[in-house]
Structure 1
């Protein structure tokens, strides 16, 4: 049994952030009913060009699948009285109401916390925003590029000093997915509170707050030292006096990441694994302090050694390496990683392979279901509410449902 089986979530949300929270809840077993505009659906469904990637019409669309797998889709126009009536009936039987609507839209449609609680007093009301529920910009919208990446300091912190411009997020919905997972966790905590006290909560997570949290360690250091975190240019020891914490190029133009924060502890073992055992007894590297003093020489020796063999050979050799290391992999290679496959961190959902949400329970990997077609479950959901076909047809004729 999945941990949230029996929990029903009504999701009125669009794009990547808040729907990704619904996807995590669905992974955990919740019945997530996605409310989509009765004519247009979630605008994310129309996103077929992303960077260099183009999704052909009729092909499965990862842009919608990642944040909407495992849900049921209901086409509903809540601007119509008949549509709002359906929403009220859904809320009456729900445990969670999840929305990305901005405050002015929530007021216009009558879906603020007090409105929803008037229908179901103990419901968990969860909302995702760009900038948080308080302050002068609480009513403004935003995306992960603006609120999470740029404003919360990741962009400035990851861009090497002196570089022309600012580095962009590595992939679409990067901050959305992280923030959505945070929101799902908040909802789960609120459900525990409700179980204990009978009281629902209003759960707030923002892109800005999630971005600040993701940068938390660096922000703490920067505030304490009163200077911003600045990324070093690639190729050096990354601003640290430790050659065993850095990136090294292999003979086939791949890279290996070493993160051994106690260099003296691992130095001799590394030397043996790179076929340079004599360096273990080199007086220049006899202690952590001496390694730091001779870091440039040490880095040069390691670069030379790593450049002599391809990544596959290093990976085989490093099976017995004591210190932490990893191959640098791209977004195709990670899906073939033996450890990723063993834990089903990337798994099939219908016609697509998708990343699983990170939490597992009782060492059981999450089984992913595909994302629904637009309004695919409208009639099923209305029948579950006890409606007869006469009323369903009337709702369709009124344009309230798809």
Structure 2
């Protein structure tokens, strides 16, 4: 099965996680993504957070591997005119130019949208920004922990009013990967538009804009109603006791989301062997359960606390209400749906070993897309330059000049 973006060439001048994650997604979808790195490399390479020792002395950085999967790497000093000349050759047959450098750096290197589009009018110029390409702060950078998570209203919506500090992101590059996925979608739309109309687009996705898209339900209502924030619903006072999380006797949690409570209340109680609760007049319908919320919630909590997770999985499978297990990340590999759909795979690391990698979430023909590991710094420099017509002497000369490393 061919991949959907085979034949598309992307030139990426980006660093850290947001835009590189987009490039990695495009690479998985079949695009030839050429990552241009400065002499010292993408700074993410040197960020020693979360590296895992394989036991063989090799440390694997899963951030780097995840966001730069399947790309080719060339080192170029774009501050030098000769380095930019190599870039122009790379862009002659490219479909997409992808970047997240700050506007002032782009202008200094002549890789801003106006400069690139004037030379290559058919290229799609795609950028990832912190707070958008317009406005008084357009020159400002951003990171997902501050621009997406904090400024985007997500953290405050999860934080109790009297909490000593705001709730932080659940994991590294949480907003970056979501924003990168948005940018990949925008690029695919621009590719389709160019194919249909011949018009090349300039595409920008920001961390702030993606956060707002994620929080749009609250943002729109708060704007319409003129309020600052919505109170965080108390965990011990669910409006609907069948939309809540419950602890089992072995310390695990189950998440229930049975929005049609009257439809599911009776069958759930019967499956759990609690016919008494199903027929109790205090809990007979949604109105009665709300009027007797404290008593109802106490009964349901005690009911779930009386059995193990394994027992509840068996019981809940006998009724039609919606539920799921609150899983730990280490359990995902054993999830039967993860396995069946190929959402987690083993990728050849190039030394006889493999590393786990999460697939892009789009399946084509019900199949997950294959992935390749990320490149070593400058691993493809010589091959890429040779493909542009540079002979061995010219490549050596570029290295002597400090243009290529």
TM-score, with length taken from structure 2: 0.94
The residue that corresponds to 1:287 in the other structure is 285
Moved over 3 A (4+): 53-57, 233-236
Aligned pair partner of 2:257 in 241, 259, 274? 259
Change (3 A) 1:232 1:246: same
Aligned pair partner of 1:337 in 328, 335, 338? 335
SS at match of 2:404: coil
Q: Retained in 2: the 8 A contact 1:98–1:126?
A: yes
Per-residue deviation at 1:54?
Answer: 6.1
Aligned pair partner of 1:313 in 298, 311, 327? 311
SS at match of 1:363: coil
Structure 2: any 5+ residue segments left out of the alignment?
Answer: 349-353
Q: Does 1:216 align with 2:219?
A: no
SS at match of 2:317: helix
Q: Retained in 2: the 8 A contact 1:160–1:232?
A: no
Per-residue deviation at 1:55?
Answer: 5.5
Per-residue deviation at 1:272?
Answer: 2.0
Q: Which whole-Å CA distance do the structure 2 matches of 1:335 and 1:223 have between them?
A: 41
SS at match of 1:332: helix
Structure 1: any 5+ residue segments left out of the alignment?
Answer: none
The residue that corresponds to 1:277 in the other structure is 275
Aligned pair partner of 1:356 in 359, 364, 373? 359
Q: Does 1:47 align with 2:50?
A: no
User: 1:126-141 residue pairs with structure 2 within 5 A?
Assistant: 126-141=126-141
SS at match of 1:122: coil
Q: How much is the aligned-residue C-alpha RMSD, in angstroms?
A: 1.5
Per-residue deviation at 1:386?
Answer: 2.0
Per-residue deviation at 1:213?
Answer: 0.7
For residues 93-119 of structure 1, the C-alpha deviation after alignment (integer angstroms, 9 at most, x for no partner) is: 100000001110111000111221233
Q: How many residues align?
A: 396
Between stretches 344-353 and 382-391, larger displacement belongs to: 344-353
Per-residue deviation at 1:233?
Answer: 4.0
Q: Does 1:207 align with 2:207?
A: yes
SS at match of 1:150: coil
Q: Which whole-Å CA distance do the structure 2 matches of 1:236 and 1:348 have between them?
A: 43
Q: Which whole-Å CA distance do the structure 2 matches of 1:326 and 1:224 have between them?
A: 34
SS at match of 1:320: coil
Q: Retained in 2: the 8 A contact 1:122–1:199?
A: yes
Q: Does 1:400 align with 2:403?
A: yes
